[in-house]
Amino acid sequence: MNHELSTKILAVETSCDETSVSILEGLGKILFHTIHSQADVHARYGGVVPEVASRSHLDVLPLLVQEAFQKISADTVDSYAATVGPGLASALIVGTFFTRALALGMGKPFIAINHIEGHLLSPFFGQETVTSHIALIVSGGHTLLLDVQGVGQYVLLGKTLDDAAGEAFDKVAKFLGLPYPGGIQIDTLAAQGDAGRYVFPRSMLHSGDFNFSFSGLKTAIRVFLEHDHTAFLPDLCASFQEALVDVLVAKAIRAARIHHRSLIAVSGGVSSNSRLQAKMASACSHSGISLQIAEPGLRTDNALMIAFAAAQRMKAGIPAPKDVPIMPNLDLATLCKLG
């Protein structure tokens, strides 16, 4: 068997409010996988509290790794990977240093992974080849459009200038009195609503570039709520969601056309949004573009996507950088040099 195809990687993800540990063999054989979500803990604060997140990672991570080693002998793990950024500094510290210490103790290499690259490659999980495509990453912390030539070859086309798409969902949900995380709540309510009932701004739809802005939309909802107390919640959710999704779909399709790509890959928590999936599928099929969306379990933060990114980087021959610190503000330019 090809060495790369049998390599076992233990990966750790602690960049925000999920503690996740996975052991991946090759590019797609899942030997161990677990995600511990702290969403319940943070729900009472209406958002993620960094100090609470890091303490919870510290409590939970050793137990999850112990569980992993009960299933797969530590001696058989070939390398260790962890998210080093971007994310909450206090949360990244726990996963990065725990995993680096583990690699050091076991005498195995440590592979530093950029969380964004994890999301970006997640729609290709299990696949040998990452074909050229336009990547739309829509999560609680990020909204990015990239032109992807292959593993490690990413050109940033645009990003949000303010709130991330998931953040806009969560903040609007908060205005509406819905529990955190609000994306799924809005999605569910919107399914019974009329998306044409209210018209909210499609910010930067015609900006001519690939950047996004969602804070104007968020403010429009807040101002609307100050003046209208009788709105039917499902209609409001559907109209907000439609405005946000319209911009995501239009810009992704335009990026594919301009950059001559015949595939769009969508990842991150917001890729679970049913309206985004439906509109993107229909726009892609009208334009002769294929669509690949990350599998449900790989959309929100997880260590499998980190292990897969590490495996793909090894396969591409990108050397693991030595002594990488945590990088809370790790961006894509640094990501491309992280090798």
Q: Does 271 bind Zn ion (CB under 5 A)?
A: no
Place of tokens 């969306």: 293
Binding residues vs ligand KG4 (CB under 6 A): 16, 139-141, 166, 169-170, 181-184, 187, 268-270, 272-273, 300-301
Minimum Å gap between C-beta 187 and ligand KG4 is 4
- Minimum distance, C-beta of residue 303 to ligand KG4, in the bound complex (Å): 12
Please state the closest distance from residue 164 (CB atom) to ligand KG4, in A: 7
Task: Tell the smallest beta-carbon distance from residue 5 to ligand KG4 (Å).
Answer: 28
Among 99, 139, 143, 211, binds Zn ion (CB under 5 A): 139
Segment interacting with Zn ion (CB under 5 A) among 22-30, 172-180, 283-291, 294-302: 294-302
Q: SS3 sequence, the chain?
A: CCHHHHCEEEEEECCCCEEEEEEEECCCEEEEEEEEECHHHHHCCCCCCHHHHHHHHHHHHHHHHHHHHHHCCHHHCCEEEEEEECCCHHHHHHHHHHHHHHHHHHCCCEEEEEHHHHHHHHHHCCCCCCCCEEEEEECCCCEEEEEEEECCEEEEEEEECCCCHHHHHHHHHHHCCCCCCCHHHHHHHHCCCCCCCCCCCCCCCCCCCCCECCHHHHHHHHHHHHHCCCCCHHHHHHHHHHHHHHHHHHHHHHHHHHCCCCEEEEECHHHHCHHHHHHHHHHHHHHCCEEEECCHHHCCCCHHHHHHHHHHHHHCCCCCCCCCCCCCCCCHHHHHHCC
184 binds, among ligand KG4, Zn ion, none (CB under 5 to 8 A by kind): ligand KG4
Q: Which is nearer to ligand KG4, 28 or 47 (CB)?
A: 47
CB of 99 closer than 8 Å to CB of 12: yes
User: How far apart are CB 52 and ligand KG4 at their closest, in Å?
Assistant: 16
Of 130, 198, 301, 310, the one binding Zn ion by CB under 5 A: 301
Count of residues in contact with Zn ion, rule CB under 5 A: 2
| Identity of the residue, 14 or 203, whose beta carbon is nearer to ligand KG4 in the bound complex | 14
Q: For the chain, what's the residue count? A: 339
For Zn ion, the closer CB: 242 or 301: 301
Q: Select from ligand KG4, Zn ion, none the partner in contact with residue 187, using the beta carbon and a kind-dependent cut-off of 5 to 8 Å.
A: ligand KG4
Q: How far is the CB of 181 from ligand KG4 (least distance, A)?
A: 4
- Determine if 170 is a binding residue for Zn ion (CB under 5 A): no
Nearer to ligand KG4, 101 or 278 (CB): 278
Distance of closest approach, residue 53 Cβ to ligand KG4, in angstroms: 12
Contacting positions for Zn ion (CB under 5 A) = 139, 301
